[in-house]
Amino acid sequence: MADLWPDLGKYTFAVLSSYGVGLGGILGLIAWSMRANAKTRAELDALEKRGGPRR
Protein backbone atom coordinates (compact mmCIF):
# COMPACT_ATOMS: atom_id res chain seq x y z
CA MET A 1 0.00 0.00 0.00
CA ALA A 2 2.83 2.35 0.92
CA ASP A 3 4.38 1.70 -2.51
CA LEU A 4 1.10 2.53 -4.20
CA TRP A 5 0.59 5.80 -2.34
CA PRO A 6 1.26 8.63 -4.83
CA ASP A 7 3.74 11.40 -4.13
CA LEU A 8 1.46 14.43 -4.01
CA GLY A 9 4.32 16.83 -3.31
CA LYS A 10 3.40 20.40 -2.42
CA TYR A 11 -0.25 19.82 -3.38
CA THR A 12 -0.92 17.18 -0.71
CA PHE A 13 -3.35 19.44 1.20
CA ALA A 14 -5.36 20.43 -1.89
CA VAL A 15 -5.69 16.86 -3.20
CA LEU A 16 -6.44 15.14 0.12
CA SER A 17 -8.90 17.89 1.17
CA SER A 18 -10.75 17.50 -2.13
CA TYR A 19 -11.07 13.75 -1.66
CA GLY A 20 -12.12 14.34 1.95
CA VAL A 21 -14.83 16.82 0.91
CA GLY A 22 -16.05 14.58 -1.93
CA LEU A 23 -16.12 11.32 0.01
CA GLY A 24 -17.45 13.04 3.14
CA GLY A 25 -20.31 14.56 1.12
CA ILE A 26 -21.16 11.24 -0.52
CA LEU A 27 -21.03 9.23 2.72
CA GLY A 28 -23.02 11.92 4.54
CA LEU A 29 -25.75 11.81 1.87
CA ILE A 30 -25.90 8.01 2.03
CA ALA A 31 -26.08 7.95 5.85
CA TRP A 32 -28.71 10.72 5.98
CA SER A 33 -30.90 9.12 3.29
CA MET A 34 -30.71 5.64 4.83
CA ARG A 35 -31.48 6.98 8.31
CA ALA A 36 -34.50 8.95 7.07
CA ASN A 37 -35.73 5.91 5.16
CA ALA A 38 -35.40 3.58 8.16
CA LYS A 39 -37.12 6.09 10.45
CA THR A 40 -40.04 6.66 8.05
CA ARG A 41 -40.43 2.95 7.39
CA ALA A 42 -40.58 2.19 11.12
CA GLU A 43 -43.11 4.99 11.65
CA LEU A 44 -45.34 3.73 8.83
CA ASP A 45 -45.12 0.12 10.04
CA ALA A 46 -46.13 1.23 13.55
CA LEU A 47 -49.07 3.26 12.19
CA GLU A 48 -50.32 0.43 9.98
CA LYS A 49 -50.02 -2.09 12.82
CA ARG A 50 -52.23 0.17 14.93
CA GLY A 51 -55.04 -0.59 12.52
CA GLY A 52 -54.83 2.05 9.82
CA PRO A 53 -56.10 1.25 6.33
CA ARG A 54 -53.76 -0.98 4.33
CA ARG A 55 -52.76 -0.72 0.71
Q: What residue ranges bind another protein (CB under 8 A)?
A: 4-12, 14-15, 17-19, 21-23, 25-26, 28-30, 32-34, 36-37, 40-41, 43-44, 47-48, 52-53, 55
Cβ at position 44, least distance to another protein in Å? 5
Q: How far, CA to CA in Å, does 11 sit from each of 3, 8, 18, 25, 47?
A: 19, 6, 11, 21, 54
Cβ at position 14, least distance to another protein in Å? 5
Q: What is the b/e burial string over 15-36, where b = at least 16 CB atoms within 10 angstroms of the residue's CB?
A: eeeeeeeeeeeeeeeeeeeeee
Cβ at position 1, least distance to another protein in Å? 9
